[in-house]
Chain A
Amino acid sequence: MMTTLDSCRIIALGIVISAAGMSLVNAAPLGLPAVPIPADNPQSDAKIALGDRLYHEERFSADGKISCATCHAEEKAFTDHRAVSKGHNGLLGTRNAPTVINAAYMQMQFWDGREPNLEEQSKQPPVNPVEGGLPNHDALLKIIRDDAAYVKAFKQVFGVDKKDITIDHYAKAVASFERTIVAGDSPFDRYQYGGDKSAMSEAAVRGLEVYLGQGRCVSCHLIEHDQALFTDNRFHNIGVGFKNIQGRVGEIAEDFLKAKNEGADVDVTVLSDPDASELGRFAVNEDINKIGAFKTPTLRNIELTPPYMHDGSQKTLEDMVNFYNNGGRVNPDDPLTPFLSGGIRPLNLSDQQKKDLVAFLKALTSPGIAAKVSSTKIID
């Protein structure tokens, strides 16, 4: 019989092996681990520069106006400051654009984790009918192959001729660029990991106590002893969006599964259909326990990325704190979803504690990111 200790050792060994299979280019910012780089997509300056251009390429859309940067804009802290994103020809999606900052650390991409990494993630938006709206990846590759500068760059980076450029080359370049968008060094990082006890305000220090204690935040938005990603890479139903599908969950789930079995694409369906969107992780893994469960997002730079939640339904940090304080609902007497995560319950925070918690959340802003952001006004 293998002891608990033995199995722990084997798990630890597994981590060492996979870590050894990665190369590291970027030094880790204060408060963050080294950026994980997949063995089959090493970083290079030329690849990052190519990814940067592809990320900003508006021609990869039906109306020639939408790039990755449209919804993940540097001057908006790599979001779009909209409740839900707007694609080609003004079409609206169903979900709030998460920031690209530190997405490199996420173990799964998208709110429902439907793609395992940045490479796979980057392939979806150009061909989603409410985002880029291209008919297929061939349309995107044609634009690349018809552009001499791109052809030259792909040859330089991947050693491929024009006809051999694939969507995977595109994906690797975009992912490489996104792996450079990392940011730590916030007042919290300097306080917690930099030894500077004056880096956070007194209110933020009190807010950290709420965060770790009565607020119960840290159980999902993790802070480790040597770094903090503020996510557990898990999926939880915290009550957001429940009102919209109340009483219809069974019907929506059944219709969705029927359509999926007949070949409907998950990426297309969840971004086009507001009801299907609310199924969350269930739409991906069909696990009854994951109805309405969404990935825990990072909290870094949260002050710069309103509005909040997967549907952008909370406009301010104060609104968001109230939502949690009420145990997963806007008002204390709103109905609760029966699928609510067991981690969510009324918190009974005082007004002072709520203010302190917001002060702490504002201490998670990276100065390098904030310097590029001129406004955090929500765009209706």
Chain B
Amino acid sequence: MNRKNHFNRREFLKKGSALIAAGSLPLSLVEVAFGKTQAESFTFAYISDSHITHIKGNNFVRNWDRGLTRAIAEANLLTPRPDFIFYGGDIAQLGTPEEIDHGLDLLGALRGDVHHVMGEHDYYLDLGEHWRKRIGPDHYSFDHKGVHFVVLNSILTHDDWIHKKWDSPMHRMKAMARLDNPDGSPFLVGDPQREWLRKDLEKVSKNTPLVVVSHSPLQKIYKGWNFWTDDAEQIQAMLKPFDKVTVLYGHVHQIQYNQIDNISFHAVMATAWPWPYPSTYTRQASYLPKLTVEINRADPFFERDGTGWQFINMHTGDIDVHYALPDNRNRSVIFDKKKGHPVDSGHQAESARIPPMKHF
């Protein structure tokens, strides 16, 4: 039977508007008109931090598989199709070939080209060897519709820590995966990659919108959990001459956004689990981005609550991040041209905020 024959029309009282949830995601993205700059408008999706975890044989942790599978199925529904998809790193939990391969198998269901970012969970077992073999270089740049994209491997660290006397490569992996590890080491983009970045940016005119994608934040938030990149200020200084810069990062498993001078920062959600905000967890110094309105506390019964993925609207070089949050309220963080920084469309007013988790 032909479905279309069933979609018959009827004169009817239209009362739909009251029923349509304010936070709903448009399946059809409205193309936003843009001014006469060289940048065209387009969209892309962003999925990150799936932490696929191998148990043994063909068994993987069900919950993390489900998170990635759901994000892919939802992203596949976007029409018109996004131009490409970023995968923001930490596809694996302990960097094993089994985990990376299984994660890439699941990602195979995604419609569209994927640009990958290296996460520390992908790296510290074999120093990224299997990841690079399957995926390619861990830092690169490309131009798309007038926007220059740069992907950095921001989760490197000091050579003496990497090559100190470990019991095994897995020992090193687990040391880097641990929060509040007194014997940990801060993330670095590092001298060679910064030199590569300097040369890459030389070719780019200063009025070209720039999007820099990394796994860890290229701003300093909380060192104990490596919500931190040690040479963040040096990177920021290299980005400062450009008119419009956006930095996108994963790793923190929570909504964060910020504006430092000309640079807009957005974090993306994990498909695996949410982290609490560091300010709610510690008395030590935390530099939670001041613009951020924290997400409300997730209901642990619903395994997907507090996780999600994003689709991103890029127009005239500015970025709107739409967060798809299963079992929670969807949110959008949109660059406000007048204010000159990103604004949370739903929760800026104090009265419109959801009380976040403040204690355990």
A269 partner, pick from B6, B26, B27, beta carbons under 8 A = B6
B16 at the binding interface (Cβ < 8 Å) = yes
Q: In B6-26, which residues have CB < 8 Å from any A CB? A: 6-12, 15-16, 18-21, 23-26
Evaluate whether A345 and B70 lie within 8 angstroms (CB atoms) in the complex, with A273-B7, A288-B27 already known. Answer: no
Chain B residues with CB under 8 A of A276: 3, 6-7
Contact B6 A289 (CB under 8 A): no
Q: For the complex, what is the distance from the CA of A341 to the CA of B63, rounded to whole Å? A: 11
Of B137-145, B187-195, B252-260, B320-328, the one touching chain A: B320-328
**Known contacts A254-B79, A338-B69, A268 near B10 by CB under 8 Å:** yes
Instruction: Report if A7-B24 is in contact (Cβ < 8 Å); known contacts: A116-B18, A287-B330, A289-B325.
Output: no
B62 within 8 A of A: yes
A2 at the interface (CB under 8 A from B): yes
**Which stretch from A29-37, A45-53, A259-267, A294-302 is at the chain B interface?**
A259-267
Question: Does A84 belong to the interface (CB within 8 Å)?
Answer: no
CB-based contact A287/B12 at 8 Å: no
- Rounded to whole angstroms, the CA-CA distance of A216 and B330 in the bound complex is 25
| Structural contact, A288 and B77, CB atoms closer than 8 A | yes
Q: Which residues of B sit under 8 angstroms from A254, Cβ to Cβ?
A: 27, 77, 79
Task: Determine whether B304 belongs to the interface, using a CB cutoff of 8 Å to chain A.
Answer: yes
Is B122 close to A, CB under 8 A? Answer: no
Task: Note all chain B residues with C-beta closer than 8 A to A116.
Answer: 18-19
What residues of chain A lie closer than 8 Å to B20, measured between beta carbons?
284-286
Once bound together, how far apart are the Cα atoms of A264 and B12, in whole Å?
10
User: Is the pair A343, B7 in contact by a Cβ cutoff of 8 Å?
Assistant: no
B72 sits at the interface (CB 8 A): yes
Which parts of A267-285 form the interface with B (CB within 8 Å)?
Answer: 268-269, 272-273, 275-276, 284-285
Contacts of A259 in B (CB 8 A): 4, 7
Q: How far is the CA of A366 from the CA of B62 in the complex (A)?
A: 40
Q: How far is the CB of B9 from chain A (nearest CB, A)?
A: 5
A288 x B302 contact (CB < 8 A): no
Q: Judge whether A7 and B355 touch: CB under 8 Å.
A: yes
| Consensus secondary structure, chain B interface | loop
- Chain A's nearest CB lies how many Å from the CB of B97? 25
- From B16, B23, B27, B74, contact of A257 by CB (8 A): B27
Which of B4, B7, B77, B79 has the most chain A CB atoms inside 10 A of its CB?
Answer: B7
Q: Residue A190 at the B interface, CB < 8 A?
A: no
**Is B301 in contact with A345, judged by CB distance below 8 angstroms?**
no
Cα distance, A181 to B301, chains bound together (Å): 32
Q: Contacts of B3 on A, CB cut-off 8 Å?
A: 252, 255, 273, 275-276
Flag if B301 contacts A216 (CB, 8 Å). yes
> Once the chains bind, are A340 and B74 in contact (CB under 8 Å)?
no
Closest chain B residue to A120, Cβ basis: B15
Contact B24 A249 (CB under 8 A): no
Q: Which of B301-354 contact A (CB under 8 A)?
A: 301-305, 324-327, 330, 350-351, 353
- Nearest CB on A from B3, distance (A): 5
Contacts of A269 in B (CB 8 A): 6-7
Contact, CB under 8 Å: A265 / B12: yes
Asked if A114 lies at the interface with its beta carbon under 8 angstroms from chain B, I say yes
Decide: A342 and B350 in contact? CB cutoff 8 A: no
Contacts of A348 in B (CB 8 A): none
List residues of chain B with CB within 8 A of the CB of A7: 351, 353, 355
- CB of B76 within 8 Å of the partner chain: yes
Let me know if A339 and B70 touch, CB within 8 A. Answer: yes
- Residues on the A chain within 8 Å of B73, using CB: 249, 338-339
CB-based contact A250/B66 at 8 Å: no
Q: Is there a chain A Cβ closer than 8 Å to B358's Cβ? A: yes
Distance of A291 Cα from B74 Cα, bound (Å): 9
- Answer whether residue B59 sits at the interface, using C-beta atoms and an 8 A cutoff: no
- Least Cβ–Cβ distance between A289 and chain B, in angstroms: 5
Report how far A223 CA is from B224 CA in the complex, Å: 41
Please give, as numbers and ranges, the residues of chain A lying within 8 Å of B72 by CB-CB distance. Answer: 338
In this assembly, does A350 line the interface, its C-beta being within 8 Å of a C-beta of chain B? no
Q: Which of A114, A284, A287 has the most CB of B within 10 A?
A: A287
In the bound complex, residues from chain B placing their C-beta under 8 Å from that of A250 are: 76-77, 79
For A129, A265, A336, the residue with the greatest tally of chain B CB atoms inside 10 Å of its CB is: A265
Query: How far apart sit A266 and B15, CA to CA, in the bound complex (Å)?
Result: 11
Q: Is A342 a contact partner of B327 (Cβ separation < 8 A)? A: yes
Q: Give CA–CA (A262, B8) in the complex, Å.
A: 10
Specify which of B7, B27, B301, B350 is in contact with A1 (CB 8 Å cutoff): B350
Chain A residues near B284 (CB, 8 Å)? none
Q: Hey, which chain A residues are within 8 Å of B282, CB to CB?
A: none
Residue of A nearest to B307 (CB): A342
Chain B min CB distance to A254 (Å)? 6
Question: A265-B9, A286-B24 are contacts. A338–B355 as well, Cβ < 8 Å?
Answer: no
Q: Chain A residues with Cβ under 8 A from B168's Cβ?
A: none
Q: Is there a chain B Cβ closer than 8 Å to A136's Cβ?
A: yes
| Residues on the A chain within 8 Å of B19, using CB | 113-116, 284-285
B10 contact set on A, CB distance < 8 A: 127, 129, 136, 265, 268
Nearest residue in B to A262 (C-beta to C-beta)?
B9
Measured in the bound complex, the distance between the Cα atoms of B324 and A256 in whole Å is: 21
Do B303 and A343 have beta carbons less than 8 Å apart? yes
Q: Which residues of B contact A4 (CB under 8 A)?
A: 355, 358
Q: Is B28 interfacial (CB 8 A cutoff)?
A: yes
Question: Which 6 pairs from chain A and chain B are nearest by CB?
Answer: A342-B304, A338-B73, A342-B303, A259-B7, A273-B6, A287-B24
Residues of chain A having any CB pair with chain B under 8 Å = 1-2, 4, 7-8, 113-116, 120, 127, 129, 136, 216, 219, 249-250, 252-257, 259, 262-266, 268-269, 272-273, 275-276, 284-289, 291, 336, 338-343, 345
Provide a sorted-by-A list of 25 A–B residue pairs whose CB atoms are within 8 angstroms: A8-B355, A114-B19, A116-B18, A116-B19, A129-B8, A216-B301, A249-B77, A253-B27, A254-B79, A255-B4, A257-B27, A259-B7, A264-B7, A265-B9, A269-B6, A284-B20, A285-B19, A288-B25, A289-B326, A291-B77, A338-B73, A340-B70, A342-B303, A343-B301, A343-B302
Q: What 13 new A-B contacts, CB under 8 Å, besides A254-B27, A254-B79, A255-B3? A: A1-B350, A2-B353, A7-B351, A250-B76, A253-B77, A257-B27, A259-B4, A264-B8, A289-B324, A338-B69, A339-B73, A343-B302, A345-B63
